[in-house]
Amino acid sequence: MSNAPLPTGATIGILGGGQLGRMLALAAAELGFQTHIFTPEEDSPAARVAAQVTVAPFENAAAISAFARGVDILTFEFENIPVAALEAAIAAGARVAPSLQVLTTTQDRAPEKQMLNEAGAPTVRYSLIDSGADIGAAAAQIGFPSILKTRRLGYDGKGQAKVQSETELRAAFDRFNAPCVLEAMAPFEKEFSIVAARSANGEFAAFDASENEHRNHILHRTLAPASAPPRALAEAASATKRVMEALDYVGVGAIEFFLMPDGEVLANEMAPRVHNSGHWTQDACFTSQFEQHIRAICNWPLGSPDRFANAEMINLIGDDVADWKQWASLNGAKLHLYGKRQARPGRKMGHVVKLTPLRR
């Protein structure tokens, strides 16, 4: 990728039309860029704030190629974009950030875990299960209780099952009917995220770690800064930098970490994109994660990730969005709604950031 900064007025292509694409498009507009959204979804949240939109399946190589030829840099808002779509865009001459290698690595838990460990971000013990013949050895190696996860297409708790015995393991594997990873249980004290950015010239900047609370396997609340020993937070930030350097990463990404009782940190998983646990940066930092991603992929100088307030980010899931008036009237809170037409159980409809300014 060229190290020349992309000039303002250029067009940024975004694969995906959800709320992350929407917030990226809004941030790009503030820096003078145009955005072109490619999405299979009619009337998507991102399309309504972008200069252009192409509505077509990701499998439509001709549409992807035409889209790619009309943008100056291409990025994606979620990691389950079909690899073939990115390959078609690259074949049409698109500059892509993060890279195809990043996408293929993070789409599959097996190479992702191998990469994290090799880069110095240790994970829990794990064993691969590609067929029923692997179950006995995996059970003996990892033990119970443990967690079975599909290697691909898992998010917000989907494709995961806690198993207490080999019988339960076999039943879960049969139910998933796909290659899996069996993970040892991690008796962690808390989960926190490091959201960071790296540009094409190697500049790196990390936001303060944020502490995560889940409900029904979906992120409910994030607190910034995370309450954890400084040594653990520093090690997590250093590990994130090592991972990004190993991948020659360009853009914003996030790694979720477990804080163990002995103070050790273990990497849980990586997201090659802006992340739900970084939404608080929109209102509590000099540069949001969304602006930082645009800066990084366009090879602009990274903005300051410094925090000027403590923050509590609360996701509005499903019918939670009906309380928007309450949040809109709350002093010290900033409401962000995604413009989705219909609320459904488990669907992310918006978020609120409650701020406590720092005393200087």
In the chain the first and final C-alpha atoms are separated, in Å, by 41
Q: Domain extents for the chain? A: 11-96, 125-184, 190-357
Q: Which CATH class is domain 125-184?
A: alpha beta
Average pLDDT, the chain: 96
Q: Distance between CA 16 and CA 11 in Å, rounded?
A: 15
Q: Where are the alpha helices (DSSP H) in the chain?
A: 19-30, 61-69, 83-91, 100-106, 109-118, 135-142, 166-176, 230-247, 281-284, 289-297, 324-328
In this prediction, residue 157 carries a pLDDT of 61
Q: Distance between CA 193 and CA 289 in Å, rounded?
A: 13
pLDDT tens-digit profile of 238-268? 999 999 999 999 999 999 999 999 999 999 9
54 has a pLDDT exceeding 70: yes
303 has a pLDDT exceeding 90: yes
Q: Distance between CA 28 and CA 10 in Å, rounded?
A: 10
Quick one: which of 142, 126, 139 has its CA closest to 181?
126
298 and 12 Cβ atoms separated by less than 8 Å: yes
Please identify which residue in the block is written with the tokens 């250029």. 10
The CATH classification number of 190-357 equals 3.30.470.20
Quick one: which of 58, 4, 42 has its CA closest to 13?
58
Quick one: which of 36, 78, 71, 39 has its CA closest to 55?
39
- Give me 312's structure tokens: 């509590």
35 has a pLDDT exceeding 60: yes
Residues 287-315 have a mean pLDDT of 98
Q: Distance between CA 113 and CA 270 in Å, rounded?
A: 9
Q: What is the pTM of this model?
A: 0.96
115 and 107 Cβ atoms separated by less than 8 Å: no
CB neighbours of residue 318 within 10 Å: 15
Q: What is the secondary structure of 245-270 as a DSSP string?
A: HHHT--EEEEEEEEE-TTS-EEEEEE
Reduce the DSSP state of residue 121 to 3 states and report it: coil
50 and 43 Cβ atoms separated by less than 8 Å: no
Q: Distance between CA 38 and CA 63 in Å, rounded?
A: 9
pLDDT tens-digit profile of 70-127? 999 999 999 999 999 999 999 999 999 999 999 999 999 999 999 999 999 999 999 9
What CATH fold (topology level) applies to the domain 11-96? Rossmann fold (3.40.50)
Burial class (CB in 10 A: 0-12, 13-18, 19+), 24: buried
CB neighbours of residue 272 within 10 Å: 23
- From the centroid of its chain, how far is CA 128? 23
Residues 29-47 have a mean pLDDT of 97
pLDDT-derived band at 217, boundaries 50, 70, 90: confident
pLDDT tens-digit profile of 144-178? 999 999 999 876 567 899 999 999 999 999 999 99
Burial class (CB in 10 A: 0-12, 13-18, 19+), 289: buried
Q: Widest CA span of the chain, in angstroms?
A: 61
In this prediction, residue 156 carries a pLDDT of 59
Q: What single letter denotes the amino acid at residue 103?
A: L
